[in-house]
Amino acid sequence: RTNEGNRKEYHGNVSIGLLAARANLEGPIIKDRSSFNVSVRRTWMELITWPLMKAVPSSSDTDLKGGYHFYDMNAKVDYSFSDKSRAYLSFYMGSDSYRNGEDSKDIHGEDRDFRWRWGNLIGSAGWNYVINKKLFATFTGGYTRYRSHIIQKQNTFMAFHDRGDQVYFQEGHYRSAMEDVSLRASFDYRPNADHRIRMGGDYLFHIFRPEQSNMSSWYKDSVITQKNNTVFSHSLIHGHEVSAYAEDEMTLTDRLRVNAGLRLTLFHVQGETYQSLQPRFSARYLLGRRVSVKASYTKMNQYIHLLSNSYISQPTDIWVPVTGQIRPMSAHQVTGGLFWHYKGFDFSAEGYYKRMNNLVEYKDNSLVVPAFSGWEDRVGVGKGRSYGLELMAQKKTGRFNGWIGYTLSWSDRWFPDGSVNKGVRFPSKYDNRHKIDIVASYKLSRKVELTAAWMYKSGNHVTIQDMYYRSSPDYTENGYRQEFWWYGGTGEGTSASSRNNYQLSPYHRLDLGANFYRYKKNGRMGIWNLSLCNAYFKPNPFSVRPRFYTTENGREAVLEQTLLFLFVPSLSYTYKF
């Protein structure tokens, strides 16, 4: 949902800083009848963050290159035909780009380049109509698109006695995308102030391209030899989804309020039709004027799976659809909590338990890198559970306000068929035991405000090849994928002892900021912002990968970490009118 523009007068703001620029403008197209609202934002973090990353010691034989930036845009136009009828058009586009590479200073060295770009495009049109004083209807049509591109390049110098010197080039291109076209109708009926009924339905046409990958390679000496292009996968899947829902929200007594709902979905893909009935129920009961308890139960089905790679910790997860071979994910979740308000403070304690079925993970003996087999053949289907406790205290009033949140949680996976981790339960990639967030702001005066935010999270889990073998089987006896090389004429290799066997170091950082407000005439205002991200320079990795080296002591493994930034100072000015 996006905000509608002001129908009476023009307003906006412009902000320019060291890391980004953004602007917003809203106002009437036809006064009191139509309006627009447009916002744009663009960072140039690559100009600041990469010099900061280069401050981290690296090999003297290579030069680092890369950076990160993003941009996005929101736009909305609305028009009222009458007091009962209103239409709108909205648009969103955003893209992120990350690059990481090394250039060897030696002409006989090796160069590598990693580029990743991902983004979304969304367009929608809607019509709101007031049927009568108690019934309200909304009809919408929309289009969404998600795309992710990963390009990896590598060139290596090679010397041959009979052919002279050559440079070997290799380029891999991995793409993943999905598109949706949707039609929706929803109705909101309020017979009285204590009773509200929502109902509706939608149809979605899905276009999935979960994996498109190819590899090109060629040699270059005085001329470029013929390129070899290998297509590993080029998948295209269509799906149709139809759903209908209804929910009833009622105040039964002065203390008890309940919400009960039911959703029916049908999903047709590759000649297979899946159906799901999903009940939901929640209730709130007032123990006193300031204390309440809440409880809920929800059954959910999802027709898109998140497929994560645990062999290397990089944000390269992909979305794959339900197929005739892969069933929908289903989950049951229950929650219960206690909420208390006292003298400007809000306190809450809430527990949850969630059980999931038909989760997907890469199999033990399956390559994560592009292979000729499709992704369906390389994944196993299993179960999972997540549970924990969330505590929170918040202050919203006064010169000093903020909140403290703490989460204690567990998350694991289990594949009874033995396709993953030999059927033994193992921690999820995102099994982060502890999470703490502290946010505070203090108004020194009407013109000066100080802010601080500290966050802490236990590290993610990754699969590290931590076992060394002197023999040379294709796979180890426990079925895990191994890396293989020849050393001194003897077959040697490494493998992982178990899935997600290594936990990364905790992620934590402190962000500090100060706002200086300058009030002007006619409601205009200027704001200076000075901030520092990661104030105590904690080197939190953006991605990690194991590197193996041969030394005098034998084979040694080093976990190589890539930083997106070490610390980021920023100065910006915002003008509101």
Tens digit of each residue's pLDDT (9 = 90 or more) over 194-223: 999 999 999 999 999 988 888 887 777 656
Residue 562 has pLDDT above 60, yes or no: yes
Question: Which residues lie below 8 Å from residue 430, measured CB to CB, with a gap of 6+?
Answer: 411, 460, 461
Query: Token pair for residue 503?
Result: 């936990």
CB of 287 closer than 8 Å to CB of 251 = no
Mean pLDDT throughout 10-25?
A: 94
Task: Give the pLDDT confidence of 408-417 residue by residue, as tens digits.
Answer: 999 999 999 9
pLDDT at 526 over 60: yes
Cα distance between residue 364 and residue 63, in whole Å: 36
Among 29-38, 276-285, 331-340, 365-374, whose mean pLDDT is lowest? 365-374
Q: What is the pLDDT of residues 334-379, one digit of tens each?
A: 999 999 999 889 999 999 999 999 999 988 876 555 555 677 888 9
Residue 173 has pLDDT above 60, yes or no: yes
- CA-CA distance, 272 to 237, in Å (whole number)? 12
3-class DSSP state of 83? coil
Quote the CA–CA distance of 481 and 493 in Å, as a whole number. Answer: 10
Q: Which residues contact 124 (CB under 8 A, 6 or more apart)?
A: 89, 90, 140, 141, 142, 143
Cβ proximity of 42 and 23 under 8 Å? no
Q: Given this model, what pLDDT does residue 375 score? A: 79
In whole angstroms, give the CA distance from residue 15 to residue 479: 55
For 328, phi and psi rounded to 5 degrees? Answer: -65, 150
Q: Any idea where the domains of the chain sit in the sequence? A: 81-197
In this predicted structure, what is the pLDDT of residue 63? 67
Q: What is the mean pLDDT of residues 112-129?
A: 92
Q: What is the pLDDT of residues 488-511, one digit of tens each?
A: 344 566 678 899 988 989 999 999
Residue recorded with tokens 């040697």 = 492
Q: What is the spatial distance between Cα 194 and Cα 253, in angstroms, rounded to a whole number?
A: 10
- Cβ proximity of 421 and 444 under 8 Å: no
Q: Are the beta carbons of 152 and 369 closer than 8 angstroms?
A: no
Q: How many residues does the chain have?
A: 577
Q: Give me the pLDDT at residue 201, please.
A: 97
By the 8 A CB rule, do 418 and 426 touch?
no
Residue with tokens 């007594």: 253
Model pTM score = 0.81
Q: Would you say residue 185 has pLDDT above 70?
A: yes
Give residue 484's pLDDT. Answer: 43
Confidence of residue 19 (pLDDT cuts 50, 70, 90): confident
Tell me the percentage of the chain whose pLDDT exceeds 70.
84
Backbone φ, ψ for residue 377 (5° rounding) = -80, -15
